[in-house]
């Protein structure tokens, strides 16, 4: 289906309670955070979230909107374990399907190809099989050296999604999406595994140019596109900007104390997206500057850790 240009709130308005939602990106990198913040403002509940998890999952656990997380890890990259994920698991407020990263990939791939499962070696001999007793193994019908009766493999079930949310550097109004950083992650598989996929982007442009391999999302995958400048903040969206490490540290510190989290939420999350961006910009402006370390210029080789429009 060719995409439609929507607002973030209109995108989230098409989701329903109890859905299985896939969120692209990886850890604290190129997450569709403006769409996640739109979920926080919505009444959505009982969500199953499939993600290479970062603060997207953390925020949805903190808000009580995620019932189950399906992931291979939950990390902020420079902070090893996502703090709200830790809190949710320690307090028993969220369910977890814990998979090997390769199994998560294979589950999305199976769903993308409309297959019931795909065989994989990952998981064998590990506690993945113990903590997921519903997983089954299959035996290859083909004998080979070392496996005269056929090799035993994990039958990774398809991870079918009701909806997928991904963030691109650029997109056009039809829903074609382009990443400009070093890694596509698995955003295309999230879209292909979903009944409906929505693309947020830093900027909607009239025409996408560049290496063909950077054109990750095609319009047949997307049911809607939304322009969200700085919409991955505080995660990275290289080369437009890097991760906002200072903001991320503040986020993680607040998660450790309920009173601190209430203050953080009131300052950054209780308003709309414009209010969030204004508060984050004010925090950046208040930081001390090093006279000997000039800010990188737009278009420089190193991605700045703040959006270009902040100065």
Instruction: Tell me the C-alpha distance between 233 and 21, whole Å.
Output: 20
Query: What's the confidence (pLDDT) of residue 305?
Result: 58
Query: What's the confidence (pLDDT) of residue 24?
Result: 98
Exposed e or buried b for every residue in 154-183, given b needs 16+ CB within 10 A? bbbbbbbbbbbbbbbbbbbebbbbbbbbee
Query: What's the confidence (pLDDT) of residue 298?
Result: 42
Query: What's the confidence (pLDDT) of residue 40?
Result: 98
Query: What's the confidence (pLDDT) of residue 263?
Result: 98
Residues 221-249 have pLDDT tens digits of: 999 999 999 999 999 999 999 999 999 99
CB 201 within 8 A of CB 240: no
Query: What's the confidence (pLDDT) of residue 297?
Result: 43
Q: Model pTM?
A: 0.92
Query: What's the confidence (pLDDT) of residue 308?
Result: 60
Instruction: Tell me the C-alpha distance between 190 and 118, whole Å.
Output: 16
Query: What's the confidence (pLDDT) of residue 148?
Result: 86
Which residues in the chain show pLDDT less than 50? 1, 291-302
Query: What's the confidence (pLDDT) of residue 286?
Result: 87
Query: What's the confidence (pLDDT) of residue 302?
Result: 41
Query: What's the confidence (pLDDT) of residue 287?
Result: 79
Query: What's the confidence (pLDDT) of residue 288?
Result: 77
Q: Strand (E) positions, the chain?
A: 20-23, 47-51, 66-71, 95-98, 117-120, 136-139, 152-157, 161-171, 177-178, 194-204, 224-227
């Amino acid at each position: 289906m060719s995409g439609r240009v929507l607002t973030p709130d209109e995108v989230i308005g098409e989701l329903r309670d109890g859905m299985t939602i896939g969120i692209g990106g990886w850890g604290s990198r190129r997450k569709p955070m403006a769409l996640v913040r739109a979920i926080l403002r919505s009444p959505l509940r009982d969500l199953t979230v499939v993600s290479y998890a970062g603060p997207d999952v953390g925020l949805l656990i903190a808000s009580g909107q995620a019932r189950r997380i399906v992931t291979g890890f939950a990390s902020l990259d420079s902070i090893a374990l996502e703090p709200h994920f830790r809190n949710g698991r320690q307090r028993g407020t969220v369910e977890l399907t814990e998979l090997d990263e390769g199994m998560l990939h294979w589950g999305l791939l199976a769903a993308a190809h409309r297959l019931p499962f795909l065989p994989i070696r990952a998981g064998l001999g590990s506690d993945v099989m113990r903590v997921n007793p519903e997983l089954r193994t299959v035996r290859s019908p083909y004998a080979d050296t070392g496996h005269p009766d056929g090799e035993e493999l994990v039958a990774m079930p398809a991870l079918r999604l009701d909806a997928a949310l991904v963030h691109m550097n650029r997109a056009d109004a039809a829903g074609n999406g382009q990443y400009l950083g070093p890694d596509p992650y698995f955003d295309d598989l999230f879209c292909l595994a979903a009944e409906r996929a929505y693309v947020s982007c830093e900027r909607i442009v009239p025409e996408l140019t560049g290496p063909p391999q950077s054109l990750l999302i095609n319009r047949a995958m997307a049911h809607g596109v939304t322009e969200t400048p700085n919409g991955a903040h505080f995660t990275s969206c290289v080369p437009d900007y890097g991760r906002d490490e200072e903001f991320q540290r503040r986020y993680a510190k607040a998660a450790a104390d309920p009173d601190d989290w209430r203050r953080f939420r009131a300052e950054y999350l209780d308003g709309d997206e414009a209010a969030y961006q204004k508060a984050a910009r004010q925090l950046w402006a208040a930081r001390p500057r090093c006279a000997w370390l000039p800010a990188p210029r737009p278009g420089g080789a190193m991605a700045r850790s703040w959006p270009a429009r902040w100065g």
